[in-house]
Structures are given as C-alpha cells and as structure tokens.
Amino acid sequence: MTRVKSPRKRKRRSIFRLNVGYRKPANNSFKIANQRFLKAQVHTFRDRHKKKQVFRHLWITRLNAFSRKLFEINYSNLIFQLKKAKILTNRKIMAQLAIYDFFVFESFSKFID
C-alpha cells in the first residue's frame, strides 16, 4: 500500500514554520506554538486597523499646532472655515503641506475669516 502523509503532521509543520524565532516552547511545543500563532494573528488584524487611527490622530495634532501658530485658531475652527469656503482636502495632505510646503499651507489664510 502507498504511504499517506498525515494532514495533522502537515498542519503542525506549517505552524512550526510560522513560529520561527519565537522563544522556548512557542517554537517546539505544538499547543503553545498554535496559541502564539493565533494570538499573533489577532494582534496583526487589530493593529492594521489601529494604525489608521494613530495616523489620523497625528495629522490632526500637526494641523492643530500649525493652525494655532499661523492663523491663531484651533483645529476645529480651521476645518470649519475650510469647509465653509468649500475647500476639499484631506487631513493627510494638509499636514504634509504644513510640514514640507509651508507657503502653500499659508495660502489657506485668505479663506479663513
């Protein structure tokens, strides 16, 4: 009869390959290695979405600092004035303009009352 390779062994081997670099029993004990792998997957999923929140918070903080320094108004008033003037730009681009191209960001002043 032909030899059948066990799918269980293949699963174990794949988990161990994914856990290379983990310490102690997390890379040689299947039960703990599997738990570590599943926990790592949870963290990667959560942090992919968390990263978007963190960057948005960073952009808003930068815009607040520049708007207080340049226009002497806070962030919420800056956004309100720009929306009132029908200027559609996102926070990422505005934060980059404030840092790298200050004169373009300064040109928003004619739209702010």
Helices (H), the chain: 7-18, 30-70, 75-84, 91-100, 102-106
pLDDT, tens digit (0-9, with 9 covering 90-100), for 40-54: 999 999 999 999 999
Specify the pLDDT at position 103.
87
Domains identified in the chain and CATH numbers: 9-14+25-111 (1.10.1900.20)
Specify the pLDDT at position 106.
84
Specify the pLDDT at position 58.
96
Specify the pLDDT at position 61.
96
Measured distance CA(16)–CA(25) in Å, rounded: 11
Across 17-34, b (16+ Cβ under 10 Å) vs e yields ebbeebeeebbeeeeebb
The separation between CA 84 and the C-alpha centre of its own chain, rounded to angstroms, equals 30
Tell me which residues of the chain have a pLDDT lower than 50. Answer: none
Measured distance CA(88)–CA(93) in Å, rounded: 11
pTM of the model: 0.72
